[in-house]
Amino acid sequence: MEKTTTNDFPMQIQFSTKTLPQADFDSAKQVKPAIASLVALATDCLILGYSKADLNKKTPGSLLLELDAVLGGSVARAKLAGDLSGKEASQCLLRAEVSWSKAGVKAKRVLLVGLGDLSAKESLSLQSYAKLAKATLKTLSGGAIESAVWFVPSFGSSADADTVLKQVRLTAQLAGEQTYRFGVRQPAMKFKAVEYVDPFQELRFVVCKDGAKAVQVAVHQGEALVEGMNLAKDLGNLPPNVCTPTYLAKTAQGLMKKTKLKVELLTKKQMEALGMGSFLSVAQGSETPPQFIIMRHNGGKASEAPTVLVGKGITFDTGGISLKPGEAMDEMKYDMCGAASVVGTMLSTALLGLKQNVIGVIPTCENMPSGKATRPGDIVKSMSGQTIEILNTDAEGRLILCDALTYVERFKPKAVIDIATLTGACVIALGAVHSGMFSDDSHLLADLTQAGHDSLDTVWRMPLDAAYQEQLKSNFADMANIGGRPAGSVTAACFLKRFTEKYPWAHLDIAGTAWKGGAAKGSTGRPVPLLVNYLLAQS
């Protein structure tokens, strides 16, 4: 298969914003624009939110009443048919009628989205908003609709600027997720990508003048986030014969052409000189050389301590000599999703021009069995000086991460977050809903939890207490690399903790959240939304 470096990542969806004059809105800044100026926008679909209260309101001034007048009774007919329930996330698609064009309506469709029991004074919770945004994007995608207009104020009439920002950013994120297809940016894949491309390609957010600034910022953030997510997904989905450590390194370096990121690679000699015996012991079974990637976003003052992201980059995990069973082993190409999320987050960070210093560090190699591979029972010396008895070569993630975690001490970080598809045990504990979060730092715990909520990319706190350290005892070295089956994801985190005492640290186990198996097999792009939201909140 021909190898291409993916250094250009066209989006599959374009976002834009449009501002309507304030005069089109009533004094209370409620959802009462001149409906005429909305329907006069040329689009395949105009999207409007309405609540149950809107439905019952017989008073003039109701959005639906005004709309009905312009649309020549289309709304009333839909109501008569029982299509307008107002139920949260319900969808009612009105299609153009002959009378519409006579009334100056340029929208080909109007999609009415139910907001539920919302009163004029309330705004939707982000969870409710996400539910209806997802339903709406599903309606828009995969059919004849190519462009749509999202009338922002109709989704929560009294929402403050911060709520609007989160809603719009999330909409862009969800639109990116809905329209993502693998293969569009990989001409080398023998894959008729064109057939899979979503016709839905353009989403325009319309807002009144007063809210324009927040919406423009949110769209910009959402756009940058989607680019990072797309890149993370592409890297995860690429086959392991293409997405090798070298490919990851070249992709990271390729970003230097597109952004102000600075990317550096360590040579194998340097890794040896640094004493990365643990990382190199994992790499030694493979014909493919390991890479150690350092990506820098210098957005803050040189004196400012950076946030450091460390991603597990096992481009294929066979288990090594402790070979995995064959079933679904192909999915172990996703064992570099931590690394992919770091590359993606660094891209988003650069595109956003965040005014802080962020460093991404990626130890990457394959975990292969061979005559040169590490044996169970081997003892290796980590960069920290601590020795490790490798009892199971399939517990390799922690072996590559520990040296990276020691390496990053030199940056005197303000916080270090490692991201890894570390344990099957985490999948058993949390499934595909939350990523496992392990930390003793109250700020990191709180900030990551909040960022998870804001991005629908949630985390769940797991324990990290000293009691679990007992399980890592070795008779022959400072520690063993496994702690037995009980609390497998916790002992893995406890192993990492031994290398992170010099800075505030959190570990994210994304084994259950980074990709989906089965018929919908594919990378989720998680936790790029979590990390980008975390960094945005730090700014």
Q: By CB under 5 A, name the binding residues for Mn ion.
A: 317, 394, 396
Question: Which of 377, 359, 394, 330 has its CA nearest to residue 477?
Answer: 377
Beta-bridged to residue 506, according to DSSP, are: 417, 439
Q: Does 315 bind ligand BES (CB under 6 A)?
A: no
What is the number of the residue whose Cβ is closest to ligand BES? 424
Please select the residue that binds ligand BES; options are 300, 424, 504, 522, rule is CB under 6 A.
424
The reply to whether 208 sits near ligand BES by the rule CB under 6 A is no
- Size of the chain in residues: 539
Residue 112, strand partner residues: 48, 92
Residue 311 is a binding residue for ligand BES (CB under 6 A): no
Q: Which of 324, 381, 414, 461 is catalytic?
A: 324
Q: Which of Mn ion, ligand BES, Zn ion, none is residue 309 near (CB under 5 to 8 Å by kind)?
A: none
Q: Are residues 73 and 87 in contact, defined by beta-carbon separation less than 8 angstroms?
A: no
Answer yes or no whether residue 427 interacts with ligand BES by CB under 6 A: yes
Sheet holding 14-20, edge to edge: 14-20, 202-208, 147-151, 45-50, 109-114, 91-95
Based on CB atoms, which residue is closest to ligand BES, 348 or 423?
A: 423
Taking contact as CB under 6 A, which single stretch among the options 76-84, 151-159, 415-423, 433-441 is the one that binds ligand BES? 415-423
User: What whole-number distance in Å separates Cα of residue 400 and Cα of residue 421?
Assistant: 12
Instruction: Number of residues interacting with Zn ion: please give it, by CB under 5 A.
Output: 4
Nearer to Mn ion, 72 or 376 (CB): 376
Q: Does 509 bind Zn ion (CB under 5 A)?
A: no
Q: How far is the CB of 89 from ligand BES (least distance, A)?
A: 32
Structure tokens at 319: 């288990």
- 245-258 helix and 337-352 helix, angle to the nearest 10 degrees: 0
Residues pairing with 114 in the sheet: 50
Paired residues of 204 in beta bridges:
16, 149
Q: Which one among 33, 228, 338, 397 touches Zn ion, defined by CB under 5 A? A: 397
Known catalytic membership, residue 296: no
Of the ranges 235-243, 276-284, 311-319, 472-480, which one interacts with Zn ion (CB under 5 A)? 311-319
User: Counting contacts by CB under 6 A, is residue 66 touching ligand BES?
Assistant: no
Q: Which does 249 bind (CB under 5 to 8 A by kind): Mn ion, Zn ion, ligand BES, none?
A: none
In the chain, the amino acid numbered 248 is: L
Q: Is 301 a catalytic residue?
A: no
3-state SS of 457-503? CCEEECCCCHHHHHHHCCCCCCEECCCCCCCHHHHHHHHHHCCCCCC
In 71-138, at which residue ranges do the beta strands (DSSP E only) sit? 91-95, 109-114
> Tokens 């939890």 sit at which residue?
449
Cβ-contact 246, 194 below 8 angstroms = no
Segment lying near Zn ion (by CB under 5 A), choices 114-122, 188-196, 397-405, 530-538: 397-405
Active-site hit among 169, 185, 250, 398: 398
In the bound state with Mn ion, the residue whose beta carbon lies nearer, of 240 and 529, is: 240
The distance between the two most distant Cα atoms of the chain, rounded to a whole number of Å, is 86
Closer to ligand BES at the Cβ: 227 or 335?
335
- Active site residue ranges: 324, 398
User: Which residues of this chain interact with ligand BES, rule CB under 6 A?
Assistant: 317, 335, 392, 394-397, 421-425, 427, 482, 488, 511
